[in-house]
Structure 1
């Protein structure tokens, strides 16, 4: 088990809304400097344009920094997942996170099953695990049913209970349903706040320990330390007044959350 950061931990600092966006080598460097052990390149579409030499450079940098790499994408399209298996082979990646839906394909359960049955043998052959994320577009139970029908140790859940609130799924219920099938954890805290004028709510991120995520319960159910499941820190940080204050707060949250998770790994 290791604690790591995701490209989502650098969401604003790597975006076009800031004057000097971070690139992947800079994100890897900062991840290592902060003491994390894993970096998940998640939903970072630019990597699809990388050539072999660029990918090898990234792997060499990660190796030099002592970082384990993971990949994240969206969708179950067979050729797309095969493409990411190709990236994984070059980068030495042993876990790819994906989702049921992509912009071009929203499969039924039977279609998802057929797509996964086609590609999972290649994941097994390459010794790469595929973790499907819990999120609001697809009911958790439906994702889980497909995974259980295939019943392979190379296919499981990327658990992010905060995503499912938008589908009125209780985070604790999502944890309970998926715990034994989890292969990867996306860790972020979240909370509701009243909108101006008390008209509705905003559901957004917050520093770990200040929101609705019962991290201790999730950890006790999933047992990432004994099951060797990496915990990847993400943020739902709303844009602040300007780029400088947003980037500063994003960095502050990252440091706080890393410290929070590291401290709690020694707690029973």
Structure 2
């Protein structure tokens, strides 16, 4: 048996027991909320008495408790030791789990700062930290295969710098498929690292933008999953490719029950976190030459399959748009979407 597979199976039970003061075993915990679901409300500049902005993780935890979430995944940056203790106390009082979102060290001299963030996150109660390895969407940010290969090379360096810190403090790092790695590329990196402390934040919908079949992505990455970004996706045609949107759970094209079952099969302690981003549709310009500058080895059959899927499953109601709304209207739609998704998760997905 491959060493990673053995470690994952052996560690699953121990990992669940090591989680700090949960309201119950994770399978009985409602879906958590990713801070990016509150893109309008987090550090909001919009004046609103009904939807006041969240200025820190404690305020986010309290609100997520009010709406019935089981936990939060939020940014770990510039926390003091005192704030971490206050967050732990509040989180334990309301009974939510906590996961962090953290940047990686790029050079050896940045490792000490990274370690301090890991220490603060663990003090607050996080045992899983989500990260990304690129600075943007692959098809928008990078413009040659050489540039993308450098991104992958630098990502491995960063993860190798982070791994001893994670091992020392017994905190897991979960790399997201963040519209950058294709699933097989991410698996190749994880196999090269071969660490029980580095796995995957499995985003259910991001990789459609890379012309990957979403179920194949879950099947490929689930053996490495520590945590998730649960979402449902709507698609529609446009001249240069297709449009892609997060939509409320159950209204999109993803087979959420099967995806969740696959994650649970490979990691019974996996956490499910809602990432329902309320925004205008993203343009995926896969019919333009520029899109392919880092994707030379993708078979044309992937493009053809994706475009057939878009045509067959176009979002009938028209993909939602919010840029035309007032600030308070955007906040209201954002909150409605999140609450609706948590209700669906409880009633239809059995995450409660």
Scaled by the length of structure 1, the TM-score of the pair is 0.86
Q: Distance in 2 between matches of 1:89 and 1:15?
A: 23
| Paired position in structure 2 for 1:208 | 249
| Paired position in structure 2 for 1:23 | 55
Q: CA deviation at 1:235?
A: 1.5
Larger Rg: 2
Q: Please, which of 30, 35, 50 is the counterpart of residue 7 of structure 1?
A: 35
Contact 1:10 1:27 in 2 (8 A): no
Contact 2:204 2:218 in 1 (8 A): yes
| Paired position in structure 1 for 2:175 | 132
Contact 2:72 2:99 in 1 (8 A): yes
| Paired position in structure 2 for 1:93 | 126
| Paired position in structure 1 for 2:335 | 251
Q: Distance in 2 between matches of 1:76 and 1:145?
A: 21
Q: Distance in 2 between matches of 1:232 and 1:114?
A: 28
Q: Please, which of 124, 129, 148 is the counterpart of residue 191 of structure 2?
A: 148
Which structure 1 segments of 5+ residues have no match?
none
Which structure 2 segments of 5+ residues have no match?
1-25, 137-146, 280-321
Residue 339 of structure 2 aligns to a residue whose secondary structure is helix
Which string of whole-angstrom CA distances, capped at 9 and with x for unpartnered residues, describes residues 12-56 of structure 1? 1224342142223322111111222211114xxxx5233222222
Q: What count of residue pairs does the alignment treat as equivalent?
A: 260
Q: CA RMSD, aligned part only?
A: 2.6
Whether 1:166 and 2:166 are equivalent positions in the alignment is no
Tell me whether 176-185 or 135-144 shows the greater mean CA deviation.
135-144
Contact 1:190 1:236 in 2 (8 A): no
Q: CA deviation at 1:85?
A: 0.9
Q: Distance in 2 between matches of 1:190 and 1:221?
A: 18
Which string of whole-angstrom CA distances, capped at 9 and with x for unpartnered residues, describes residues 180-236 of structure 1? 1111110111112356xx786432111101012210121121117961111011112
Contact 1:75 1:101 in 2 (8 A): no
Scaled by the length of structure 2, the TM-score of the pair is 0.67
Residue 223 of structure 1 aligns to a residue whose secondary structure is helix
Q: CA deviation at 1:242?
A: 1.1
Q: Please, which of 190, 199, 220 is the counterpart of residue 261 of structure 2?
A: 220
